[in-house]
Structure 1
């Protein structure tokens, strides 16, 4: 009960993570609009200035100001906290890049913020595009280059954060390419807009058409004339730099102090392979693995949003802290055993022995020019299994080369049917094949594609049988099973023998339905969920309930002869 209450507290890890995400999204909206405003400079300085008026109306009112600067302070504070709570700074390159870029942003932007927003609010300095671009392009081009670097750093930091947040959404992969185009174009257009405005303002002819009074108003402002105002702005700038540097120093000082205190209060994490890692009490098992250089999957970066870092606890299970609500939710989703915990969330208070359940190959052990296998992500897909019935009897009196010829013809028609329907051939095993549908589409579309492919296979097998009737001792007959449900889709294998495949209970059920098609002497057995999602008309088609190993309740299926299966193709088209 205590852990659940903690999990629902406003100061729980989930709440803190949401606050960091929310503040980041507010800043991303600001950056997105600001860069879009810069891009208007490709049209003209006047167009950019008109856009700036709308931009400042949105962000320089009391509500916008409070929202923006509240988000900035919240985000910085939570980033500092995340650095402090980490027991080890050993982390994947993507996380490290995000943190380093994030810490560079205040250093790059404090001068710009003081020179625009602060002096505008305090002294009425007009920080319009004409003034700012003139300063950055003509008066201090070094500062202009610095702002271009800041623009790129801010954008990359934001895009990395968005990618980590969205990458497990099923719809994200469908629009990822389009978002990448936007992510590349927007900063490029913003930089080109700045360059075009700079070149325009630097032209001697521009002085003739510009309102010189705008410049004179700034030159005569208190900020430019009053040494006391200049000193005050310098003090503000120094204070902001000092505050940020001081906060960073305090975080690392606190980490150092904690480390010295924890040297006398450490535990040992034992691994099944015999490795021992000594870590301060309160460290997570994932941090222990990283600190000890032990390969350990963590696709979500240790945020508890996936189960790839899960471990089986072999000792002191009862002495471990109870999982919080977030960890409980993830473990329940995968039907984890009681002795399975998430390494990124488990903070043992005593010595413990664990076994990572998803093993990761050390990068040094991988062949050159290969990539590490990916643990995958969960998707709602449809799986099709097909097999030639009585294949042994068909080929027992055939020469090996004849069998190879027959299998290649069969594999060609299966692969063609699957790919035309929009699916992906997973593997060929003997005279059997497995195909996946729905990796990049909805479950409904996946089921329709699978039925279309099945009907095409049934039709083409009949044509192939008629074509080779003089060569075969009996007609070719196909058995197909189709089922749908959640499965983990990922790239598995080693070296060059790697492929995208699916793992899960629904894959086993689909294989069982293919075997049922042989038992029922029909071409196709389809589970009821497939028919329902596809919207297929199953009137007049026999239905049965079959028992599937590992399922408590029987599964309703449709038993479809070859002719009816071919009719399905006509109905789908």
Structure 2
């Protein structure tokens, strides 16, 4: 009965539910990231003038120096550091991907890097009432103490990098992240760059203005020299206690060991309390984890083939993730599953031998639903053409055709999914909006038609009849991910949208036309085809028929 109440509380958020530490850490981190963004933006105003920086600082102080802003900022800083210590303590192994290690190390170093800056500005203001403005701070850090200024700049960049890594781990599993990644990366680089340029420009302006050298610096508080060392001792003591706690816990846990068996007769023995993912990392066994072991994705999931009885039940977060992917009862998240007895597991998503891991980091290996545009094309009557030619001649012609199609698709912004005989499947929208994907697919079809025309002209003497093509364009949702086995694994798409596009390509052959466009794609591409022949197509296995436009000559669309 107690277990039932605990499970119910964890799902409903009633008293007794587990504290959502990850969400709290994320919220505190976003507060700190917002502070850094406003702080850097204020620095960037130095590209205008020192007076502009001072005007911006007035708004900055209103935002962060009121009681609410102060509690929110410094409460988030202390909470975030405390949760970083908690994460350090809870980790059973310090083996982790470089990005995770960098995020943890940078987070733990932040207080030590920022103590000098905070002491010289915020604490001095609290003790003496003296509000150091940009003219005074820039003069001190740019002219009088450039070494300290350099250290402060490095500290702020490290803080920004830590925040960017946290946001990256948070957003990476989101299905829309690949489409926005370039914009976010650009912003992450520009913000500190503009801030440093603004600070340097302000420093040059002050160096060229003698009146700034007359600024009078009031005497500092007698307590100020004592506060810095005290803060260093406080944060350093917390870090030392956490490391000591890890050592004591490890000594205790090693007395209770758990054996985990992997494929290929690999056996890993770890202390009780280790997760399966931590066991894999301890033993150096490749194990995919897109979200960094936070339970936000399902890429680390394993199938438990022996020993699942008497193991702890999934946590609320693990249950939620497994429910979203409709996992079977013997599937667990390796990052959340902490076995208490011997088990045998098989990682469901293997890194394999063909370099899939690099693509997995982009979030595609586990399969994502995306709105894509699909292009199918196929040569007409090619079988009859090959009957009269040597095999090497056939290969030469096919390669020229594939080259024309591949260049057309890539120039339009698409991705060649696969070549099937003399047919080609291309995808659009892996990193763009559905509307842009539809326009790219249409552009690719026109380029393919133009390329085939050039091919017919170049090899007219070789062909008894010009090469002809049948194409189809469709748009809709599809599951995009790494599929296949061994060396045959590749990025591809499956679903009703792909099947419907294939059926439309078959219709183009039946009607002896060059192109059939679905209404879905035409609408997304903003294409008005009301003066063209329209047909309703029944798709096998699909309840609703599909409206489509019949285009006898693809080149005619170039005039629209």
TM-score by length of 2: 0.84
1:218-297 alignment, distance < 5 Å: 218-219=218-219, 224=220, 229-230=221-222, 232-297=223-288
Pick the aligned partner of 1:486 from 478, 484, 490: 478
Structure 2 counterpart SS, 1:303: coil
Shift of 1:189: 3.5
Question: CA offsets per residue over residues 182-229 of structure 1, 9 Å max, x none?
Answer: 4334323433443444455456x61xx2484x515x13xxxx3xxxx4
Shift of 1:355: 0.9
Shift of 1:475: 6.9
Pick the aligned partner of 2:538 from 521, 545, 565: 545
CA distance change for structure 1 residues 300 and 13 in 2, over 3 Å: closer, same or farther? Answer: farther
Q: Distance in 1 between matches of 2:412 and 2:207?
A: 59
2:98 aligned with 1:93: yes
CA distance change for structure 1 residues 526 and 133 in 2, over 3 Å: closer, same or farther? Answer: closer
Q: Judge conservation of contact 2:11–2:17 (CA < 8 Å) in 1.
A: yes
CA distance change for structure 1 residues 443 and 331 in 2, over 3 Å: closer, same or farther? Answer: farther
Question: CA offsets per residue over residues 140-195 of structure 1, 9 Å max, x none?
Answer: 44322321221221122122222222334455444443443443343234334434
Give the corresponding residue for 2:314.
Answer: 323
2:221 aligned with 1:215: no
Shift of 1:463: 8.9
CA distance change for structure 1 residues 53 and 236 in 2, over 3 Å: closer, same or farther? Answer: same
Q: Distance in 1 between matches of 2:159 and 2:376?
A: 48
- Which of 276-285 and 2-11 deviates more? 2-11
2:364 aligned with 1:374: no
Q: Distance in 2 between matches of 1:149 and 1:418?
A: 44
CA distance change for structure 1 residues 75 and 134 in 2, over 3 Å: closer, same or farther? Answer: same
1:6-17 alignment, distance < 5 Å: 6-9=10-13, 15-17=20-22
Q: Judge conservation of contact 1:23–1:75 (CA < 8 Å) in 2.
A: yes
Q: Judge conservation of contact 1:385–1:511 (CA < 8 Å) in 2.
A: yes
Q: Distance in 1 between matches of 2:489 and 2:348?
A: 21
Give the corresponding residue for 1:81.
Answer: 86
Structure 2 counterpart SS, 1:215: coil
Structure 1 counterpart SS, 2:552: helix
2:148 aligned with 1:143: yes
CA distance change for structure 1 residues 520 and 353 in 2, over 3 Å: closer, same or farther? Answer: farther
- Which of 148-157 and 289-298 deviates more? 148-157
TM-score by length of 1: 0.82
Give the corresponding residue for 1:563.
Answer: 552
Structure 2 counterpart SS, 1:487: strand
Q: Judge conservation of contact 1:382–1:484 (CA < 8 Å) in 2.
A: yes
Q: Distance in 2 between matches of 1:385 and 1:13?
A: 51
Shift of 1:503: 3.8
- Which of 457-466 and 556-565 deviates more? 457-466
- Which of 1-10 and 259-268 deviates more? 1-10
Pick the aligned partner of 1:36 from 41, 46, 53: 41
Shift of 1:425: 2.6
Q: Distance in 2 between matches of 1:139 and 1:476?
A: 76
Q: Distance in 2 between matches of 1:382 and 1:198?
A: 52
Shift of 1:395: 0.8
CA distance change for structure 1 residues 463 and 286 in 2, over 3 Å: closer, same or farther? Answer: same
CA distance change for structure 1 residues 63 and 471 in 2, over 3 Å: closer, same or farther? Answer: same
2:476 aligned with 1:471: no
Pick the aligned partner of 1:358 from 333, 339, 349: 349
Structure 2 counterpart SS, 1:268: strand
Structure 2 counterpart SS, 1:546: coil
Q: Distance in 2 between matches of 1:288 and 1:462?
A: 59
Q: Judge conservation of contact 1:267–1:279 (CA < 8 Å) in 2.
A: yes
Give the corresponding residue for 2:434.
Answer: 443
CA distance change for structure 1 residues 526 and 288 in 2, over 3 Å: closer, same or farther? Answer: farther
Q: Distance in 2 between matches of 1:519 and 1:323?
A: 53
For the aligned residue pairs, the C-alpha RMSD in angstroms reads: 3.8
- Which of 448-457 and 296-305 deviates more? 448-457
CA distance change for structure 1 residues 394 and 24 in 2, over 3 Å: closer, same or farther? Answer: same
- Which of 284-293 and 175-184 deviates more? 175-184
CA distance change for structure 1 residues 437 and 272 in 2, over 3 Å: closer, same or farther? Answer: same
Shift of 1:95: 0.9
Q: Distance in 2 between matches of 1:402 and 1:57?
A: 76
Q: Which runs of 5+ in 2 are unaligned?
A: none
CA distance change for structure 1 residues 15 and 148 in 2, over 3 Å: closer, same or farther? Answer: same
Q: Distance in 2 between matches of 1:335 and 1:155?
A: 38
Q: Judge conservation of contact 1:516–1:525 (CA < 8 Å) in 2.
A: no
Aligned pairs, number:
546
CA distance change for structure 1 residues 529 and 84 in 2, over 3 Å: closer, same or farther? Answer: farther
Q: Judge conservation of contact 2:311–2:341 (CA < 8 Å) in 1.
A: yes
Q: Which runs of 5+ in 1 are unaligned?
A: none
Give the corresponding residue for 2:195.
Answer: 190
- Which of 371-380 and 343-352 deviates more? 371-380
Q: Distance in 2 between matches of 1:300 and 1:241?
A: 33
Structure 2 counterpart SS, 1:321: coil
Structure 2 counterpart SS, 1:435: strand
Q: Distance in 2 between matches of 1:475 and 1:353?
A: 57
CA distance change for structure 1 residues 498 and 504 in 2, over 3 Å: closer, same or farther? Answer: same
2:132 aligned with 1:120: no
Give the corresponding residue for 2:503.
Answer: 513
